[in-house]
Structures are given as C-alpha cells and as structure tokens.
Amino acid sequence: KDSNNNTAAGGGSENKLIVVGFSQVGAESDWRTANSQSMKDTFTEANGYKLIFDDAQGKQDNQITAIRNFIQQEVDYIVVAPIGETGWDTVLQEAKDAGIPVIIVDRMIDVAKDDLFYCWVGSDFRKEGDVAVAWMDKELAGKDEVKIVHLQGTIGSSAQIGRTEGLEAGEKAHSNWEIVAQQTGEFTQAKGQEVMESILKQTTDIDVVYCENDNMAFGAIDAIEAAGMKAGVGGDIVVVSFDATNAGLTMTLDQKINYNVECNPLHGPRVAKLIEQIEAGQIPEKLAYVEEKAFDAREMTKEILDARSY
C-alpha cells in the first residue's frame, strides 16, 4: 500500500495529476485574456491536471526562460503560445532531449526540424485575411479609389504575417486599392490609437482601416472620432477587424466596426484533447486548424452577441 492507502495495484497512479507547463505570450488583448481563461478553466485539478501558467509579458526571452523552468520541474507536457515564429529551435531541442512533449497553440513556429514539437492547434491566419478581403471586394466595389490604413499586429507573429499577406494579396488584385499607411499597433488599444492619431495628422483621405485585431480597432475608432470623423456603417471610414471578441462584436453591433473576422481563442479543450490522445498512445494530427466565422455589422444582432461565450 502506498502513503494514500491505495493498493499498489494502481489506485495511487490513477490519482496522479498530469503536470502542464503553459507559456503564454502576455495579456495584450481581449483575445489573449479569453485564451488564458480557457486554458485555466480546462487544466484544473478536478480535470486531472496541475497547470503551471507563465505570462511572458510579450517577451520571447521570458518564454524561453519559462520553458527551461518547466524542463527543470520535469513537467509532463509543455504548451507554448509563441509570440513570434522564429528563435525556438534551441530551447525546444532541450525539451526534446528531456523527453517532454511540446504542443504549440495559436500562432505557429518556424523550426528547422518539425519533430521539435509534437503538434499544433490554432487558426489559419492567411484565410482570415482572405475572408476580410473578400468582404472588402464586395463592400468597396465601384469606388474609384480605395485608400487603406493597415494597422498590423506584433511583427513576426503568425497572426500578423497571415492577415498582412491576405491584405497585400488583395491590394495586388485590385488596381484601385492602395495601402497608404502600414504600421504595427502591437495588438494593443493604446498603441493602435497612437498610430492612428499620427496617421490622421498626415492624411484624412482614408476609406478603410484594416485592424489586425479588435483592440487596435478600438484605438483606431477613438482616434477617428477624436479627429471629428465617423467610423463604421454610414461613416467616413470603414473599419475591418479580427478576433470577434465580446468587446469587438459589441462594437460591431454598434456598427462602429463594419466587419469582424473571428479568431477563436478557446483552445483549452482542444489542447486537452491532444494530451488525452498522446496519453492514450495515439499520434494526434500534426496541425489542427480551427473553423471560424465572420460578422457583418448589418447582420449583427444582440442574440448573436449574447450567444457567444467570450
């Protein structure tokens, strides 16, 4: 019998919690907050897990330090929401050498050998950009010139790379579209407002602001209104956004955001399913893309908003 008075046959081992070390980017946006909550709601002791949560405050060095700490603590799984795509090979090789499976969630990583991570679950960011551009193609058809301000997310993150590729492909495909300003707002409201304010000081001849997440859209809308202009449906500047968080869809219902492309943050249950598969000796899909919707302000209703869980 072991110390918990369980028979050696296995009672004790069944009670062992699976220890998960999670390296999270930070708390830069509503999306990130919802993503962190989903992980915390899923990896509970009641569900058989012990979660070690680390917030890297937006710095890759802190993520690398956290992963090394997880290795020292001999966790059972390392889950990483990577801030950017590069710079992971060395530390993931250390995790592999320690025999700890690594699951990548949300953004993707670019590593020399793809056996440095077990599997990935996240969004198709290029597709998100293409969905937004397809809507813009219809919405802006017939306009002689379309001048676009492009507020990019954290440079080098998959979300920024894919959404930017989508817009830039759209610009190439439309001779009357022109990106008149392109700058990172770091996925935050404050930086998004600051950047949009400085752009509006240079020009107000703008038709669309393409914001790579909701928080930058909120900042841009504040800047547009402070400049005496109207954002959204029937306004001076069309606002396109990504994430479709609760706050983002509220602004869409208010018609200040014209179109919002969902990026689903509820990865907790998805990562738990991957871990359960690995625990059962199965080999999960290497890449698991999440299905996502998009919301046009003119079709937005309070019922749609209230039915959302984040």
Which residues are at the interface with ligand GZL (CB under 6 A)?
Answer: 28-29, 31-32, 106-107, 123, 159, 187, 213, 242-243, 263
In the complex with ligand GZL, the residue whose CB is nearer, 25 or 275, is: 25
In the complex, minimum distance from the CB of residue 166 to ligand GZL, in angstroms, rounded to a whole number? 13
Query: From the CB of 13, what's the least distance to ligand GZL, in Å?
Result: 36
Complex with ligand GZL: residue 207 or 243, whichever CB lies closer:
243
- Secondary structure letter of residue 16 according to DSSP: P
In terms of phi and psi (left: phi > 0; alpha: psi -120 to 50; beta: otherwise), the region of 193 is: alpha
Contact 128, 144 (CB under 8 A): no
Least separation in angstroms between CB 26 and ligand GZL: 8
DSSP 100-129: --EEEEES----SSGGGSSEEEE--HHHHH
Nearer to ligand GZL, 28 or 76 (CB): 28
Query: Which residue, 33 or 47, is less far from ligand GZL as judged by CB?
Result: 33
Which residues are CB-neighbours of 212 under 8 A, at least 6 positions away?
Answer: 151, 152, 153, 159, 160, 163, 164, 185, 187, 242
Q: Which two tokens stand for residue 198?
A: 């400085």
Q: Residue 185: which H helix or E strand, with range? A: none
Nearest-angstrom CA–CA distance, 181 and 148:
7
As measured in angstroms, the least distance from the Cβ of 159 to ligand GZL is 4
Least separation in angstroms between residue 8's CB and ligand GZL is 46
Residue number, 18 or 260, with CB nearest to ligand GZL: 260
